[in-house]
Structure 1
């Protein structure tokens, strides 16, 4: 029977439904705050609804209208990565150079473009954003707060321009989206993708004080561990902040709205990797916290035996692993001191993310995270979780250590 809209319900039903949503949201926020001390409470108070980014980057309109090559350029909003790859393979060097220079944001974010071209394009785009932010920081007509924000944006952009960094995607809209590659992506036989959770954006992409709170820090840790475990294997890791993440513990953290906007972007990334690399197996996805909601939302569209590893998960938006479809193998872990374990694993009126992926009845393979501490400690040196993640990324399934009662606390 189709679900009735609010207009079709009686006033009493509408009031009851809205009250239920408020109670559920309060329950989620209260439990999370109590579990994570005063710092989380401050985050919850500051939490705000985010604006999703689902459209192509700046310059796309001009790109679509460009006929200077005597042919139609692939539409960033609809072109399949395979068609994009074929288009760029058909171009000569001068044409490629012109497109990179004139449309850096388009080329740098277009799945199906060879990685090296995306790195080149994104260096141009990042440098332009740095210069724009520096100009704003020096503009005395702006408020002191606006100038400070601009200076922070300039510094964050400058860090991405350090020698050797490989920026696979960069979009300065909103809080800023950025993804980075560690290793030789075009030649890698095994590729891992880190999908982070809340607070991930340009300003938090790379944190020196506490690296494992950032996507870049997690990506580097996983890449180094994979190299340690198998020095002869050609590996690459992508730290993918390719979607607008929740901020704090507000409404976005307990709904799937941002994940639903993110999932098609993740699917396009995977489709692009399939046509621009030489992988021996589908990329493994390592999904932390709210990132596991994104991975769960994308999972039904993945049909190639992808390893989906979730850690510190609030749920994946499903009652069990079977609901994720047949295209993924699900591995999960949560350490006993991770506050996320105190959040209710349920879904009520669109709030919450369903069952616990690390529970016995979910249907995932529960792996050890012995030695890990807190919500961000899963990739700390010497932990069983980091070692397990590396073995999974390498496809060494016989080396993976499953969880014991002691691991679960």
Structure 2
């Protein structure tokens, strides 16, 4: 987990802004945090590959998963993808290409029209969980060949249901990730990570760390999964409530830091990733390891 802690110095807290500059608004009730492995984990545990029990997605580390799958031949790796796509698609430590394939199958199998766009050709979905409001992580650029990796962690009201909905440009997890990717260049892969249960509205959940605590565990495991498959050190960018998630995830390392971001030309709470802003230029430098 140390790699996450070392790179957290870049931007997680620098993007933190007190949510809701226009006063408190009631949320839609207390949200249930989605935790643990996805549905299908029991069937996965009862299965095997090449005569070997499959690693428990609830207890095996990302590094144990990576070692297990590396020891299988091609047929041994692809069989579980077909039989358990929802598990493989969220299995931190599994090869990136396997997770993309598994999530295409999982999205199609969900039968939910609201998620259909995630299965479109060219989408690189690294995680998909239909429970609750849904969670999703999408990659922009070739993650396996990238020299740098950034992870955008969004705040309230983001989930798999709203992920593909119409948004103002450069906002929302996908919009922020695309903007950062364009600013940082083709050697930087950017992950839009909506991998935790976010607050709805600006209410009790947004004012407490309960959902962020659960999200921090998932984020730390996700970044460990990137490390386990040989990806470059991930640089997390937490926006709004997402910055709380990033800060709490640092508990799972031996290191932490913070950097400052110029924001004098930012317009509003969602304007940090607008092209031409000093904040986006700083983020691109952070993502590429150029910031001091």
What is the CA distance between 1:189 and its match in structure 2?
1.8
What is the CA distance between 1:203 and its match in structure 2?
1.7
For residues 112-133 of structure 1, the C-alpha deviation after alignment (integer angstroms, 9 at most, x for no partner) is 001110000000001111x2x3
1:245 partnered with 2:198? yes
User: Residue 193 of structure 1 aligns to a residue in which SS?
Assistant: strand
Aligned residue-pair number: 275
Match of 2:276 in 1: 382
Alpha-carbon distance in 1 for matches of 2:86, 2:180 = 28
For residues 37-59 of structure 1, the C-alpha deviation after alignment (integer angstroms, 9 at most, x for no partner) is 7xxx6xx2343100111121011
Asked whether the 8 Å contact 2:149–2:231 carries over to 1, the reply is no
Match of 2:152 in 1: 194
Asked whether the 8 Å contact 1:207–1:214 carries over to 2, the reply is no
Alpha-carbon distance in 2 for matches of 1:80, 1:209 = 36
Asked whether the 8 Å contact 1:193–1:239 carries over to 2, the reply is yes
1:214 partnered with 2:172? yes
Alpha-carbon distance in 2 for matches of 1:201, 1:250 = 17
Greater relative contact order, per chain length (Cα 8 Å cut-off, separation 6+): 2
1:36 partnered with 2:22? yes
Match of 1:287 in 2: 238
Match of 1:226 in 2: 184
Alpha-carbon distance in 2 for matches of 1:110, 1:244 = 18
For residues 183-217 of structure 1, the C-alpha deviation after alignment (integer angstroms, 9 at most, x for no partner) is 11112121100010000101221343414331111
What is the CA distance between 1:32 and its match in structure 2?
6.7
For residues 334-383 of structure 1, the C-alpha deviation after alignment (integer angstroms, 9 at most, x for no partner) is xxxxxxxxxxxxxxxxxxxxxxxxxxxxxxxx221232110001000110
Match of 2:33 in 1: 52
Asked whether the 8 Å contact 1:207–1:217 carries over to 2, the reply is no
**Aligned with 1:275 (options 228, 239, 242):** 228
User: Residue 117 of structure 1 aligns to a residue in which SS?
Assistant: helix
Match of 1:97 in 2: 78
Alpha-carbon distance in 2 for matches of 1:168, 1:68 = 22
What is the CA distance between 1:179 and its match in structure 2?
0.4
Asked whether the 8 Å contact 2:27–2:204 carries over to 1, the reply is no
Alpha-carbon distance in 2 for matches of 1:250, 1:205 = 21
Task: Note closer, same or farther for the CA distance 1:207–1:386 as it changes in structure 2 (3 Å cut).
Answer: farther
Match of 1:397 in 2: 291
Alpha-carbon distance in 1 for matches of 2:130, 2:109 = 10
1:329 partnered with 2:257? yes
For residues 275-326 of structure 1, the C-alpha deviation after alignment (integer angstroms, 9 at most, x for no partner) is 21242xx2111000000111111112234xxxxxxxxxxxxxxxxxxxxxxx
Match of 1:318 in 2: none
Q: State TM-score, norm by structure 1.
A: 0.65
What is the CA distance between 1:176 and its match in structure 2?
0.3
Match of 1:109 in 2: 90
Alpha-carbon distance in 2 for matches of 1:185, 1:277 = 10
Greater share of residues in helix: 1
* Structure 2 gaps, min length 5: 1-17
**Aligned with 2:142 (options 156, 176, 184):** 184
User: Residue 179 of structure 2 aligns to a residue in which SS?
Assistant: helix
Which has the greater radius of gyration?
A: 1
Asked whether the 8 Å contact 2:171–2:273 carries over to 1, the reply is no
- Output the aligned Cα RMSD: 1.7
Alpha-carbon distance in 1 for matches of 2:258, 2:149 = 17
**Aligned with 1:259 (options 212, 222, 232):** 212
**Aligned with 1:302 (options 211, 233, 253):** 253
Alpha-carbon distance in 2 for matches of 1:68, 1:266 = 28
**Aligned with 1:123 (options 69, 80, 104):** 104
* Structure 1 gaps, min length 5: 1-30, 134-153, 304-326, 332-365, 399-409
